[in-house]
Amino acid sequence: MKSNRKFSKDEEAVSPVIGVILMVAITVILAAVIAAFVFGMGGNLTPSPPSASVTASNNAADTTLDMKINHNGGDLLKGSEWKISVVAEGDAPAYIISEASDDFAVGGQIVWAGTVATDGTEHNFVGATWTYSSASTEDFVQGEKYDIKMVHIPSNSLVLNTVVEIR
């Protein structure tokens, strides 16, 4: 009988030690989960892309070989935060970067005649309907397809990526 009491005395000391170890383990795991959640949420430093509906189509309103790029809805594309490329299908993009005054708002329109200038700097985006005429000798060719890309620069996301055939 005496040996049974001694055995139960030793058993009482094991329970608090195991309890402390479990509490420390749970605290460490909980701290790791919280840290992963907090640092995972704060790690995304790139701005979110704008939610804008931009379309491009052949401009059938006149006989000039040109196209229209319309801002149909969504967020404002602030000047100097977007760039656009209009090149023959299969060619590498050649971007023109908008200037600070080139806000592209809902209802805005770009009428594009010709292709992108090779230096990527010349443009005339003025008023509600902007016009772009290239300094390059390449003009649109009827029946040809052209690749149009518009990129939001801060988030590096495509706002428009389409192909338009000139008719």
Could you read off the pLDDT of 109-147 as tens digits, one per residue?
888 776 655 555 545 554 445 666 555 556 778 888 989
126, 143 Cβ separation under 8 angstroms? no
Give the type of residue at 96: I
Distance CA 134, CA 20 (A): 75
pLDDT at 72: 92
Beta-carbon count within 10 A of 55 CB: 13
| Higher per-residue pLDDT: 96 or 72 | 72
Q: Give the class (CATH, top level) of 52-165.
A: mainly beta
How high does pLDDT run on average in the chain? 78
- The pair phi, psi for residue 24, each rounded to 5°, is -65, -45
Residue 49 DSSP label: P
Could you read off the pLDDT of 4-47 as tens digits, one per residue?
555 555 555 567 888 889 999 999 999 998 988 887 765 556 67
